[in-house]
Amino acid sequence: MYTSMNQKNRSKNFVESLLSVADVKINGNRSWDLTVHDERFYARVVRKWNLGLGESYVDGWWDSESIDEFIAHIFRASLKEKISLNFNTLLSYLGAVVSNRGSRSRAFKIGEHHYNIGNDLFSAMLDKRLVYTCGYWKNAQNLDQAQENKLDLVCQKLGLKAGQYVLDIGCGWGSFAKFAAEKYGAKVLGITVSKEQVELGKKMCEGLPVEIRLQDYRDVTGQFDHIVSLGMFEHVCSPNYRVYMEVAHRCLKENGLFLLHTIGSNYTDKNIVPWINKYIFPNSMLPSIEQIGKSIEHLFVMEDWHNFGADYDKTLMAWFQNFDRAWPELKNKNGKIYDERFYRMWKYYLLSCAGAFRAREVNLWQIVLSKKGVLGGYQSPR
């Protein structure tokens, strides 16, 4: 009993001292402070760190008035660098090293686990076009405007013209395809690994020169004037970066442009976030500048690299506000799936990611690539 109490006290003291470095207090009165409801919280965090923090929140062991700001404090204090790599994190890292999380056999798992949850959820949470990637908030007053800005920015960066044929890798519900066809007169092939996205996407793009397929990117054939990929590269995983770029190179016409829109990490490692990987985006991994750079060598010329990661904070907060507002209706629709644990899990997902972007721990990049360089130079709109 004495030894058990000692261990509990050591865990509590360790977590409290660690959080104090980030200016976070247990049972404090500021919005980013934590209120602990279950003393087992401390040992769970010490044992599992990132995974334990998220799981204990979903289990109701702690709360914070502002999870997003709490997480931002954690990242600004660089706590990840101040603690030793625990066993669970090590196992997750080793799993990424010895296995290919983005292999062909696992390609459709993310669709089944995340994107097929329910179109009612995403319709309630996202903007009117169902854009599930970072908005561009320059001159935007709301989420709808920010997403229209982003889609238009992509088209401008491509120099998109009427009649051109575009490949959209990871097309979601067809938001870009629909926009490019309606506003620019383009023809679009969109591919996704989610059956739910294909079904709704086809309805949304009905009557337009848009085709949406359930297909892995490795199986795409044909030639395209341009290629876009908005928020899909995070599911490719580092062993497949080169293959992915080779597919894009093979499918892009000689004078075409490839716009890659991806969340990116400041560090070159396996970049696996254990809680996100287990509960939200299985087999996901954030690329670094070095990893992307190596993957495009001898294939592409980098024409432009645009970082607007701070805009993802605003986007995620808008998604959470929509989700939170719609929760009573969602819960009544399907209480078996949308139960209290689901609410806490989704809240933690959206707000913790917002905090990470606020702290600039992660970024959002739009990268424009050409095969041989744009003659006379590339001028990128902002």
- Which residues carry out catalysis? 353
Cα–Cα distance between 84 and 18 in angstroms, integer? 12
Tokens found for residue 148: 């229209």
DSSP state of 301: E
Cα–Cα distance between 46 and 67 in angstroms, integer? 19
SS (H, E, C) 191-258: EECCHHHHHHHHHHCCCCCEEEEECCHHHCCCCEEEEEEECCHHHCCHHHHHHHHHHHHHHEEEEEEE
Sequence letter at residue 26? I
Contact at 8 Å (CB) between 136 and 305? no
Closest Cα to residue 200, out of 172, 180, 228? 172
Tokens found for residue 167: 């490949």
The residues, ordered by sequence, that sit 6+ positions from 212 with a Cβ below 8 Å of its Cβ are: 171, 174, 177, 189, 190, 191, 192, 197, 198, 201, 202, 205
Tokens found for residue 367: 């990268």
Strand, helix or coil for residue 156: helix
Q: Give me the residue label for tokens 């383009």.
A: 186
